[in-house]
Amino acid sequence: MAKRVGIEVSLAISEAVKLAKVDAVAAYPITPQTHIVEHLSELVAEGELDAAFIPVESEHSAMSVCAGTSAAGARTYTATSSQGLALMNEILFIIPALRLPVVMTIANRALSGPISIWNDHSDIMSVRDTGWIAIFVENGQEAFDLTLQSFKIAEDHRVLLPISVNLDGFTLSHVIEPHEFLDQDEVDRFLPEYKPAVQLNPDDPVSMGTVGVPEIYAEAKKCQDEVLKGSIKVVKEVFAEFAEMFGREYKVVETYRAEGAETLLMTMGSVSETAMEAIDKMQEAGRKVGLIRLRLWRPFPADDLRAEMGSVKTLAVIDRAVSFGGAGGPVAGEVRSALYNVDDSPYIASFIAGLGGRDITVDDFIEMVDQAEAMAKVNEIHEYKMIGVRE
């Protein structure tokens, strides 16, 4: 039976990885991800997890090792943050091209410089176009549940793409929360053994990663894109199966008190908990304000987003990363593209807040709603505004 455990979120993730019976873990330390791989190495050392634990000499090698383990047919996991993700960058592109279902936790952290160990989303936003499925979680339970579900999504033969599970560094990764853990037999029923579609095997030799001559390169990219876009169907199926088995429901786009709302705040990650407080407060004051959260960042759930825009007149999108000199925050830019040609699409305000560990308070959220509504009224043309910065 499921049991309730109070544990640090990082460790809950490691426990989920253990329950997934991974075969291989590549590990390199970086704050705030380190507790995850530390705990995994402990689980291996204690004999609780029968996996190859490969303590590599860099994140570039971590991701390269993952390419090797996954191509050889092993269920493969790694975790990183910030600079580590940046160092992996080259290999991140190659993993989905080779159709390797690696699962990676990213404890999101700001990118240097100046060097910062604190949370924002600049790491994941910088690898937006690498071709990975990217999921955001907001609390420990979600981190545990979605880590397990990620293996099932990634390894589905209609998908065979890598997934990153993103959680806010420190503000989520390092807090102790209660978690409903699942038992091994429950997990086994949900997540069967990984059956690779192809693996490096001398009795059936294949060549992986051959030269993409111009006659096929565009088809290779088109294929990758179609499979990534198509994976949303599998994501939803897996969410549904999980809900059916364990009663916890997940959606690619989630809302909070959004019925009848004329203004929506849009967030990703753990700041939504504070955002909810702000929504409660504003609704108490009689304002028609709700919250919308993107759980799935890639593939971008454009249809699901559009479906939530019913009565919405103003959308305030909060980005936790800067696209320097761009036409909007990274998320806001996507949202504007997705809604631009839609009839009666809302006014979209782009705010950047919470960089490098800067808190976003309830008052900040209220201020963003105020500003967005005022801007909407005069249809103010803008790219993006930074909030909570001394001017």
| Binding stretches for another protein (CB under 8 A) | 23-24, 26, 50-52, 54-58, 60-61, 64-74, 76, 90-91, 94, 97-100, 160, 193, 197-213, 215-216, 219-220, 222-223, 226
Q: Smaller CB distance to another protein: residue 213 or 381?
A: 213
Amino acid at 45: A
Identify which of residues 51 and 338 has a Cβ nearer to another protein in the complex. 51
Minimum gap (Å) between residue 348 Cβ and another protein:
33
In the complex, minimum distance from the CB of residue 262 to another protein, in angstroms, rounded to a whole number: 43
Nearer to another protein, 213 or 285 (CB): 213
Report the residue number, 21 or 251, with the smaller CB distance to another protein.
Answer: 21
- Running DSSP on this structure, what letter comes out for residue 355? G
Closer residue to another protein, CB minimum distance, 197 or 342: 197
The CB-of-21 to another protein minimum distance in angstroms stands at 9
Q: Identify which of residues 190 and 194 has a Cβ nearer to another protein in the complex.
A: 194
d(C-alpha 68, C-alpha 80), whole Å: 18
d(CA 16, CA 6): 14
User: In angstroms, what is the minimal distance from the CB of 82 to another protein?
Assistant: 20
In whole angstroms, the minimum distance from the beta carbon of 32 to another protein comes to: 24
Element (DSSP H or E) covering residue 57: none
Q: Rounded to the nearest whole angstrom, what is the least distance from the CB of residue 74 to another protein in the complex?
A: 4
112 vs 201, which CB is nearer to another protein?
201
| DSSP 8-state class, residue 205 | -
**What is the C-alpha to C-alpha distance for residues 81 and 28, in angstroms, rounded to an integer?**
10
User: Cβ atoms within 10 A of the Cβ of 239, count?
Assistant: 21
Smaller CB distance to another protein: residue 221 or 377? Answer: 221
Residue number, 226 or 244, with CB nearest to another protein: 226
Is the CB of residue 131 less than 8 Å from the CB of residue 91?
A: no
| In the complex, minimum distance from the CB of residue 87 to another protein, in angstroms, rounded to a whole number | 11
Q: Is residue 114 reached through a cis peptide bond, with omega within 30 degrees of 0 on the bond before it? A: yes
- CB 104, min distance to another protein, A: 14
For CA atoms 179, 185, 189, 193, the dihedral sign is positive
Residues 6+ apart with CB under 8 A from 325: none
For residue 300, which phi and psi values (nearest 5 degrees)? Answer: -70, 125
73 versus 388: smaller Cβ distance to another protein: 73
321 and 120 in contact (C-beta within 8 Å)? yes
Residue 126, both tokens:
């910088």
Pairwise CA distance, residues 53 & 40, whole Å? 8
CA-CA distances (angstroms) from residue 237 to 144, 157, 305?
Answer: 18, 13, 18
Q: How far is the CB of 181 from another protein (least distance, A)?
A: 24
Q: What six digits make up the tokens of 18?
A: 């253990």
Give the whole-angstrom CA distance, residue 161 versus residue 101.
5
Structure tokens at 338: 């997705």
Spatial neighbors of 242 by CB under 8 A, at least 6 apart, are 145, 148, 149, 190, 248, 250
Q: How far is the CB of 75 from another protein (least distance, A)?
A: 10
CA–CA dist 76, 162 (Å, integer): 10
